[in-house]
Structure 1
Amino acid sequence: MRVAFASEPAYPGRPNEDFIGATADAVVLLDGASIPPGVTSACSHSVRWYSHTLGSTLLAEMTQSAGPLPELLAQGIKHVTSLHDFTCDLAHGGSPSATVIMLRQAADHLDWLVLGDSTLILDTGTPEPIVICDDRLEQIASPHRTRLDSLRGGTPEHAEARREYVETLGTYRNRDGGFWVASTDPLAADHALIGTIPADQVRAAALLTDGTADTVSRYGLMTWRQLLDVLAQDGPAELVRRVREAEHSDPHGERWPRSKTHDDATAAYLQHRAGDFRSV
């Protein structure tokens, strides 16, 4: 498996809280949940530290073990938690967290796992590809966005509304009736979306953080099929460029209300050729 990918931080010079990594037969994508100013955390580690530490741990586990993906994710969360549970108050709701996509080719099939609002697309050659995204966060968040979406981005009022919004969502994180992401509790892995599909049914696959999936889900610039065409013809960097173009055209969130003007953006693309996945 060879993977083409692009990843860019929200702002030049700012740490990229996304993680993308691949081996010959596995790909892992994480989107770290940014913590806005004013939201306190009892953990001394950054979101980037968390997403990159967990991402590299998962990639190693997927290389060394053929175990079920939820089991590997639970082990990975437990391992990363052990690295800072004696130095940080991990019971605090502000502990770093991340969405997770895991994709693994094993013999004649592909196993996948999605936890949180990153998006996995499987192109099976049909007019509409298979799109997998855990939408529990959106279901919870939507009723709480009214005030935030009514304010002009870049203003103190918008920043304060975003802080309140993030703190409210924190009360729903990793509990029944809420939404689930990777953080400190290995049991979150039991709530991931999972599946298996014959490898020969998949022509291509794409892994997207919400910063790139927004080209379809928020900005409506293209369909999922058209997004796959962009990745196939021009590569992931072109998709990221289109995201930035849309963001810059609406700097205050007046056309497309959103909590952040710019977001970290990551896309990975795999194409199926002669029984294996290869880059375009």
Structure 2
Amino acid sequence: MRVTFATQAAPGRANEDFVAATPDAAVLLDGAGTPPGSDSGCSHGVAWYSRTLGSTLIASISQSAGPLPELLAEAIKTVSSLHDDTCDLAHPGSPSATVILLRRRDDLIEWLVLADSVLVLDVIDAPEPTVICDDREAQAGARYRAEMDALDSGSDAHASAHRRYVETLRSYRNRDGGFWVAATDPLAADQALTGTMPADRVRAAALLSDGASRLVDRFHLATWREALDTLDQHGPADLISQVRTAEHSDPHGERWPRGKTYDDATAAHLSFTSPE
């Protein structure tokens, strides 16, 4: 397996994404940022959470052949134990993150996707890539976006609307009828999307935080096939550069209304076939 990846923070902010790989596995997390003026109950912050959970997961997936949901549940419990005596883990804004786990084991590719980061599989002889994304947060949030999306995304009014939007969605987090993310409840791992595919059917895979996938699923400036080709031919940094170009071209969210004008962007490309 050949792995390349790149990650870039949104301008002026700490990077809350995490990406790592072993010879047989990859892990990507996208920390759910806390808007300015909103409390999280945690003194460590989102970047700490995503890096600590990600590091725990990459160690676990290297050492255990157990089911991916089990590994995620144990990792959530481990990270919670590291700050349950200093932070309010019952706070609805406690740090959280999306998770993608991908592992090649024996003759199978196994994956787990929790929340809205995107896994794209380049399947041999398939007309289109297979795209796995958990869109339950987007479904829950759709009814609350109108005010935020109507405002100039560089304005104070937009920042206030975004904070209200995020705080409203907290009541839907990690419950039936809402959406699920890695936070403090290990049961969230059971709600992840999981699957397997014969390894000889998969040419490559892309793991994308939503800050990187927005080139396709929000900006519609590329197809998933074109994104895979960019990753393969030019590398993850080029894909992220295209995202930044698009964001800079629309600083007020007039063409593409969005909560964050700029977002942390992370992309990993895994190739399972030998280069010619």
Same-fold call, TM > 0.5? Answer: yes
Equivalent position of 2:28 in the other structure: 29
Shift in Å, 1:18: 0.3
Shift in Å, 1:40: 1.0
Q: Is the 8 A contact 1:7 1:265 kept in 2?
A: yes
Per the normalisation by structure 1, the TM-score is 0.96
Q: Deviations over 1:8-27 (max 9, x none)?
A: 00015x31100000011110
After TM superposition, which residue ranges in structure 1, 4 or more long, deviate above 4 angstroms?
Answer: none
Equivalent position of 1:146 in the other structure: 146
Equivalent position of 2:101 in the other structure: 102
How is 1:253-268 mapped onto 2 (pairs within 5 angstroms)?
Answer: 253-268=253-268
Q: Deviations over 1:58-104 (max 9, x none)?
A: 00000110000000000000000000001111000111000000000
Q: Deviations over 1:185-236 (max 9, x none)?
A: 0000000000011100000100000001001111000111111111111110
AA in 2 matched with 1:230? T
- Partner Cα distance (1:272, 1:71) in 2: 25
Q: Kindly report the root-mean-square deviation, in angstroms, between the aligned alpha carbons of the 2 structures.
A: 1.1
- Partner Cα distance (1:272, 1:41) in 2: 40
Equivalent position of 1:229 in the other structure: 229
- Partner Cα distance (1:56, 1:2) in 2: 20
Equivalent position of 2:66 in the other structure: 67
- Partner Cα distance (2:25, 2:226) in 1: 25
AA in 2 matched with 1:39? S
How is 1:1-280 mapped onto 2 (pairs within 5 angstroms)?
Answer: 1-12=1-12, 14-125=13-124, 126-274=126-274
Q: What secondary structure, in the 3-state scheme, does the structure 2 residue paired with 1:76 have?
A: helix
Shift in Å, 1:156: 1.1
Q: Is the 8 A contact 1:153 1:261 kept in 2?
A: yes
Q: Is the 8 A contact 1:127 1:225 kept in 2?
A: no
Q: Is the 8 A contact 2:2 2:272 kept in 1?
A: no
- Partner Cα distance (2:198, 2:40) in 1: 43
Q: What secondary structure, in the 3-state scheme, does the structure 2 residue paired with 1:48 have?
A: helix
- Partner Cα distance (2:119, 2:112) in 1: 9
Per the normalisation by structure 2, the TM-score is 0.98
Identity %: 65
- Partner Cα distance (2:19, 2:216) in 1: 21
Q: Deviations over 1:131-162 (max 9, x none)?
A: 00001011011111000000111111101100
Q: Deviations over 1:217-263 (max 9, x none)?
A: 11000111111111111110100000000000000101100011100
- Partner Cα distance (2:127, 2:248) in 1: 31
Shift in Å, 1:127: 2.0
- Partner Cα distance (2:58, 2:39) in 1: 30
- Partner Cα distance (1:217, 1:83) in 2: 36
- Partner Cα distance (1:76, 1:46) in 2: 17
- Partner Cα distance (1:17, 1:134) in 2: 19
Shift in Å, 1:38: 1.4
AA in 2 matched with 1:101? I
Q: Is the 8 A contact 2:116 2:210 kept in 1?
A: yes
- Partner Cα distance (2:121, 2:177) in 1: 28
Shift in Å, 1:46: 1.1
Shift in Å, 1:2: 2.9
- Runs (5+) with no aligned partner, structure 2: none
AA in 2 matched with 1:88? C
AA in 2 matched with 1:206? A
Q: Is the 8 A contact 1:140 1:179 kept in 2?
A: yes
Q: What secondary structure, in the 3-state scheme, does the structure 2 residue paired with 1:205 have?
A: strand
